[in-house]
Amino acid sequence: MALWRVHVELEDRPGRLGELATAVGGSGCNILSLHVVGEPADDGSVTDELLVEVPGGIEPAGMAAAVERAGIPCTLLVRADATELADTATTALALARMVAADPGSAPRAVATLLRARIVEPGAPAGTGHVHPLRVGTAQVHLGRSWPFTATELSRAAALLELAAQLSLSGQPARRAAQPDPVLLLVDGSEVRVRTATPADRPLVTALHARCSPATRSARFLSAAPRLDPDELDTLVGIPHTAFGPGAKRTILALTTDGGSAVGMADVERTAATAASFAVVVEDAWQDRGLGTALVRRAAEAAAEQGGEELVATTPTQNMQVVKLLRRAGLRPTAEITGGMLHVRAPLSPVVSRVG
């Protein structure tokens, strides 16, 4: 399966959206999301952006041709990636929060909002479409491979206005925070990694809900679609005595725009030398090396707390945890007692690697 971004000019009349869905579905493809990115034209049509899932063996151009045959102009067809499935409203709010905390981050936030990149003025023609935006007294040039619409630029202007208002309010300038580390996964996609905070409750809740029942059962020993409120608090750094004597630290893997959590590893000191850990990765992000990377982060966190080994308890059928530990460079041992798989792994190999 591959994701493609498609722009269509859709007339504002009853049944037109259904005709679009029929054309895309009839070509064997599936619309995953749709939202308006362009202002109404003189004839009342608007530019809609679709993220379309195209199965292997089907040509994206054939899908676009089917849309054209339905009398719907198709103005853009470019490859997209899984990070763009993040909820747009959640992403916009996360970016607004970033700008509120640091007005100087506005150029980076706007680039993320528009799925663009900051380019140098006078960049070569191969850069694609470039649009200048005024940020305070400076000018920032954003570039991407398809045109910017007036609707998108108005959304960007709202973020820039927020930054300008904060700067004029007399709020003391804040030093820009160090960016979260970025992990490059085996398929070329990227995630940002940081420690969870209480403000991340919605992200962790959404991650849990998106996981399949099997994934939830392997991590939480329950397929329930909602986390227990106390356990959710503990995962984001609010301690509860019911979950053991040690403080728990949760490491989140986020989409590069910070709008969605796609994986997490939590580690808790449970004994003088041992730290328990658990890892969960959203189904759509599995088999990319993210679980292995999170195990390494969990091992580093445990070593920082003085732990000498990682331990985990999981259902007997979840041998994946043993594989993850081995891929992370550890040497786990496992035994089955009481109908559960108990895994232990000394930390010395990882400590020597990162030290």
pLDDT tens digit sequence for 260-309? 899 999 998 887 788 899 999 999 999 888 999 999 999 988 888 788 89
Q: What is the DSSP string of 167-235?
A: HHTTPPP-PPPPPPPEEEPTTS-EEEEEE--GGGHHHHHHHHHHS-HHHHHHHHS---SS--HHHHHHH
Residue 38 or residue 183, greater confidence = 183
- The pLDDT-based confidence of 68 (bands split at 50, 70, 90) is very high
Mean of pLDDT values over 248-266: 90
Least confident of 33-42, 266-275, 289-298, 328-337: 33-42
- The pLDDT-based confidence of 87 (bands split at 50, 70, 90) is low
Neighbouring CB atoms inside 10 A of 316's CB total: 11
Least confident of 66-70, 77-81, 242-246, 346-350: 242-246
pLDDT value at residue 126 = 57
Q: How far apart are the first and last CA of the chain?
A: 40
Residue 192 or residue 244, greater confidence = 192
312 three-class SS: strand
Domain boundaries, the chain: 2-80, 88-168, 182-354
* 186-195, 229-238, 282-291, range with greatest mean pLDDT: 282-291
- Highest CATH level, class, for 182-354: alpha beta
With beta carbons less than 8 A apart as the criterion, state whether 52 and 32 touch: yes
What one-character DSSP code corresponds to residue 339? T
Chain position carrying tokens 């090396």: 289
For the sheet containing 138-144, what is the strand order?
117-119, 138-144, 129-135
Measured CA distances, 109 to 95, 114, 156, 171 (Å) = 6, 9, 9, 19
Q: What mean pLDDT value characterizes the chain?
A: 82
pLDDT value at residue 221 = 83
Q: pTM surpassing 0.85?
A: no
- The pLDDT-based confidence of 44 (bands split at 50, 70, 90) is confident
One fold for 2-80 and 182-354: no
Please determine, for residue 25, whether its predicted confidence score (pLDDT) is greater than 70: yes
Mean of pLDDT values over 237-263: 74
pLDDT value at residue 281 = 95
Please determine, for residue 13, whether its predicted confidence score (pLDDT) is greater than 80: yes
Neighbouring CB atoms inside 10 A of 199's CB total: 11
Neighbouring CB atoms inside 10 A of 60's CB total: 18
pLDDT value at residue 247 = 63
pLDDT tens string 270-283 = 877 888 999 999 99
What's the topology of domain 2-80? Alpha-Beta Plaits (3.30.70)
Percent of the chain with pLDDT over 90: 28
Measured CA distances, 100 to 105, 116, 161, 302 (Å) = 9, 21, 11, 33
Environment class of residue 355 by beta-carbon count within 10 Å: exposed (0-12), middle (13-18) or buried (19+)? exposed
Percent of the chain with pLDDT over 70: 86
pLDDT value at residue 241 = 40
Please determine, for residue 354, whether its predicted confidence score (pLDDT) is greater than 80: no
pLDDT value at residue 113 = 83
Mean of pLDDT values over 90-99: 76
CA 233 – CA 236 distance, rounded (Å): 5
pLDDT value at residue 85 = 61
